[in-house]
A and B are shown apart, each in its own frame.
Chain A
């Protein structure tokens, strides 16, 4: 019965996370709903499953423990990686955003252009006959 209550709690948390994933206005605010409460929901469901099999059948599943540990470890890492990729990909912030503290540190998409210019200059140095074409392509 404890397992059933934990499973129901986990399902409710997953539903709340999905509602937040629809209603929130931004990638960066949506990542809160998608990472934290969803992780809590799936952890509740998996712990409920573990307790059910432990109580009803006396079966302690190492694989389920490993799954719980892996989900608990990787879901916040995945959310962080997605948020960093979105910020460097210049996904716009929401309308009511008060403050953007990362703007001074990242300067998104400037260093990539610098790398491309370095590559283009290297190609021009190697093949000078194609120089006008490359200039047109760059501009």
Chain B
């Protein structure tokens, strides 16, 4: 199957804020294979993700898009019996090279999961968790400042500022997911991976998350997996289409949804299968 690698140039969408988007490659994946035991889940994936854009991964269930996302911060390491081949370069450094500090990698590449997973602690402690374990902050007031900033970045501050000490589990589903985003943002990662972050949310909460993603790309490189093609079209600059563990096509989102190069992509986005 034809695999098109990313062009270094980015087409700025009409709706995007007028600013120069850096075309520097943040993440470069070369010939990535991935195995669950003997089952090969990813075949020879090669893709480049430029800095400070939103890259969406679309494709039917089981196509490997989540698996691929999880190779970018080595979250698959925790699943026994998995194996990786090929290279994942972040800032030109192979994260699967021996001697890579996985803990440090995950600080730089944050992740938001499909199902919100706040810790059974207070709202404040949830956001402070990453800061505390990484000893990012020295003083207590600095910690409070960072927590406040993260909650503001995640557009949650106004809703929770008066009850930071209450349980995170008392928040609504959409708020919990934004809390998880705040938690990931607090340690200021360079890349933010989002695995279907809005799939369990209602339309209002979803639109809040989408607005948030749009804001966040000014500072972060965002990779989002989504089932929802409209969502990919709304939030992303570039879109990659996966099928059966292979990367079929990657291009500017506009191109993918209006004039895809590959017939299979067209069949999928027009709803002929999947």
- Pairing of A with B: no
Report A's interface with B, CB cutoff 8 A: none
